[in-house]
């Protein structure tokens, strides 16, 4: 683990010296996480017209152009900076297709509208697995439908922090940085959101909350 950490630090050091190959290496390392971000937050109406790989390629080009600014002012961890660059590209994609009424560039791209993607639904099933009984595994489709209905009942802020933690798989520290709050506050907000999701699911007919 230490060898891997040292190797990553070496790439970061090269990046700080302006090595563009280092940017390519780090972007490749974080590509899967950035891809989850794009797939989850891209508006459902655009999924047949906009390629995830194209968005990521454009985000990489934007990162390459902005790299001198990042080197001069490292205001956030590198992955979160790459995430921010990708979010800006997503915002621009939405503006190109939907006009100036798209979300302001200072705000997060909203969770994709319309039907939830299959990947997103499967990822969101992970926290449910922590409090459902084994017998419910055979009812996966019904459970995912209940989940979507339960998510619709939550406040946008609750859905957002659950998305950051379970769809994008950000750490609590990363979530805190994205939301501009302290880590302790992010942790409390996440626990409250997860409890509200559990409560919403428990109110649905046929859903049994597992555990003692």
- The pLDDT value recorded for residue 37 is 92
- pLDDT < 70 regions, the chain: 1-4, 100-144, 206-212
Q: Cα dihedral angle (24, 94, 148, 33), rounded to 10 degrees? A: 0
Q: What is the pLDDT of residues 18-32, one digit of tens each?
A: 788 899 999 999 999
Phi, psi at residue 209, to the nearest 5°? -80, 125
Judging by beta carbons within 10 Å of its beta carbon (0-12, 13-18, 19+), is residue 13 exposed, middle or buried?
exposed
- The pLDDT value recorded for residue 130 is 52
Residue carrying the six token digits 């490749």: 28
- The pLDDT value recorded for residue 145 is 75
- The pLDDT value recorded for residue 158 is 92
Phi, psi at residue 70, to the nearest 5°? -65, -40
Domains of the chain in start order, with CATH, are: 2-101 (1.10.1740.10), 118-202 (1.10.10.10)
Nearest to 111, CA basis, from 57, 37, 171: 37
């Amino acid at each position: 683990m230490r060898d891997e950490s040292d190797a990553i630090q070496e790439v970061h050091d090269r990046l700080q010296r302006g090595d563009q190959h280092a940017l390519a290496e780090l972007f490749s390392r974080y590509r899967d996480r950035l891809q989850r971000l794009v797939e989850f937050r891209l508006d459902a109406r655009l999924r047949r017209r906009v390629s995830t790989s194209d968005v990521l390629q454009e985000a990489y080009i934007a990162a390459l152009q902005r790299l001198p600014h990042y080197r001069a002012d490292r205001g956030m961890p590198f992955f979160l900076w790459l995430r921010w660059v990708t979010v800006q590209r997503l915002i621009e994609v939405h503006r190109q297709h939907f006009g100036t009424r798209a979300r302001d560039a200072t705000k997060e791209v909203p969770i994709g509208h319309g039907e939830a993607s299959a990947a997103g639904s499967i990822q969101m099933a992970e926290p449910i697995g922590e409090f459902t009984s084994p017998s419910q595994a055979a009812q996966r489709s019904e459970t995912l439908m209940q989940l979507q209905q339960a998510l619709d009942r939550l406040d946008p802020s609750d859905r957002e922090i659950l998305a950051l933690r379970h769809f994008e798989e950000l750490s609590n520290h990363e979530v805190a940085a994205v939301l501009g709050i302290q880590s302790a506050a992010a942790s409390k907000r996440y626990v409250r959101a997860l409890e509200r999701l559990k409560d919403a699911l428990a109110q649905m007919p046929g859903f049994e909350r597992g555990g003692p």
